[in-house]
Chains A and B, each alone.
Chain A
Amino acid sequence: MTEQKPILQVRNVSVDFKIPAGGMFGGNKILHAVKDVSFDLHQGETLGIVGESGCGKSTLSRAVIKLIQATSGESLWMGKDILKMSPKELVNLRKDIQMVFQDPLASLNPRMTAGQIIAEPLLIHYPEVNKTERMARVVEMMEKVGLSANMINKYPHEFSGGQCQRIGIARALITKPKLIVCDEAVSALDVSVQAQVINLLMDLQKEFGISLLFIAHDIAVVRHIAQRIMVLYFGEVVEIGESEQVVMQPRHDYTKKLIASVPVPDPKEEMRRRELRRRLRREAAAAA
């Protein structure tokens, strides 16, 4: 990593949700979804965020780009706090930060064609661009993500899951953003398609110099794509560091458990690891 200033600096971000405790006057319970999280993200870097379901990964990623309101903390985008931006500044920011979602089909409007979907961010941020140029950009993006340009008039339900995710990626790329937040972008795809989409993301990252915030629950996937990994457990950062170091020499017990849970396609190795998992569980029980 070069020693330049990080493009995104997240400082002590917390997100709380109010949950009605039942009854009309029962008051609210407060759920601390994300507790005091800080991290840096450099230009062209990929930071993986891993953790089990419900540990606050998605909430964190949405809070730092102000899609949901954070309770406290700051998120500095090139030195400016996103959480304090005016609505107008936010619209401009959306041009630089785009998102790719978990469910490929659900993230595409079923009543729009692939071309219309990909063109939408362009229409929002560059309304002055004429139709021919806009469609030319769409064709360019479709070819970049490996979709044939003559599918431009097809509707989302006519594409496969992997193709839908490519449309989602093309939509995220068309405004030439500096950061893409991938929220479980490959979890809904099957393994071979996962690999294709991840390699596509890495190629595009190299080509455009984009930073990625890559959220996943599968540490094996994250290790492949990310330079650094952050492990979240019940809304708290338990470990953050270079991915090789996190995976090979995990310091926190939860990280060890997470790594031990990744299946390996080798029965003998798997037996040995099952022993390891049992031992970890026994130790945890003894400690408690």
Chain B
Amino acid sequence: MPGITGKDQVLTTYANKLATLDPVKGRSLTQDATRRLVRNKAAVASIIVVVVIILAAFIGPYFLPWGFSEVDWSNIRKPPNPEAGHYLGTDQNGRDMLARVLQGTQMSLIVAFVATVVSVTIGVIYGAIAGYFGGRVDAIMMRIVDVMYALPYILFVIILMVMFGRNPVLLFVGIGAIEWLTMARIVRGQTLSIKEKEFVEAARASGASSWTIIFKHIVPNLTGPVVIYATLTIPEIIIAESFLSYLGLGVQEPQTSLGTLISAGAPVAEVLPWMLLGPAAVLVTLLLALTYIGDGLRDALDPKDR
């Protein structure tokens, strides 16, 4: 194209025009969805609940008189007692339950967040590539997913633990490595339908490379299903982590997580009920709120699909 070097006189006038232009702001699909989400009362309430839980878990411990591993020798196995600073009582070792619940929530949230990020990243890229290229590439990539599905993940995590020792990082990797499989399948299915849309063909006709098409045209249009599925993955991961910790494969003492706390509280629920009620209440509230957020997001992102 002649004159593309910036010396074009006509172009300069357009550039000046652009500088003085006051363009109308467009309303993107994301903004639309946010507006619909804000109108959904259950979702907004759930978001507030989750934010409060997150803040409490990360900031709360600094305001407590007792640390999560500190032992109060004069208050062992005691019910809630505000005068001694034990608002949720103490466990068999004299450690403050409220401090432990907050620390456990913190750990569960970190595991959930890291594992979700891992599974979304791997799943989206893997699924989009398999779906876009199709044919033999797709068949091989999805058979690998099928094989990994067939592996029981408990076995997978146990093998990891035995080989590398107990380490929270391994827990993230283990859970993330399992959770991405479903994400990859969902993304592949969506990609198959998006790649038949005319705007993808338009991009091909104007010479865009496969990678440009995948990352600029397909992945952004996957936002809806991916965001929805990710919010529903978080509770799943929290439960998986709780389950592994319950089996003693998860987080190590004196660190704790919601699952570890519940597993410690369950056998003594009759004599020391406060050891079970605190962590159980937090876990249930968190899961319920996340599910409502997921539902709200689905309604907001897919207004046709109700």
Instruction: Please give the residue numbers on chain A whose beta carbons come within 8 Å of chain B beta carbons, in ascending order.
Output: 65, 67, 90-91, 93-95, 97-99, 101-103, 106-111, 113-114, 120-121, 124-126, 129-130, 132-133, 135-137, 139-140, 149-155, 157-158, 168, 171-172, 175-176, 181
Contacts and interface: CB of A to CB of B under 8 A. Distances in A.
Nearest to A141: B14
Contact of B207 (A94, A102, A114, A132): A94
Given A121-B207, A158-B27, A133 B11 contact: yes
Among B25, B203, B209, B217: residue with most chain A CB under 10 A: B203
A239 B207 CA distance: 33
Given A120-B208, A124-B212, A171-B206, A137 B199 contact: no
Nearest to B26: A154
B220 interface: yes
A130 B6 CA distance: 9
B23 A151 contact: yes
8 contacts: A94-B205, A97-B205, A98-B205, A113-B26, A130-B6, A151-B23, A154-B24, A171-B202
B28 interface: yes
Contacts of A114: 26
A193 to B, nearest CB: 18
Contacts of B198: 101-103, 106-107
Contacts of B4: 126, 129, 133
Contacts of B21: 139, 149-150, 152
A110 B29 contact: yes
A3 B202 CA distance: 33
A65 B27 CA distance: 36
Contacts of B22: 150
Contact of B205 (A67, A129, A140): A67
Contact of A94 (B11, B23, B206): B206
Contact of A153 (B25, B207, B209): B25
B121 interface: no
Given A110-B221, A132-B18, 4 more contacts: A101-B202, A121-B207, A136-B11, A150-B21
B26 A153 contact: yes
A155 to B, nearest CB: 5
A120 to B, nearest CB: 6
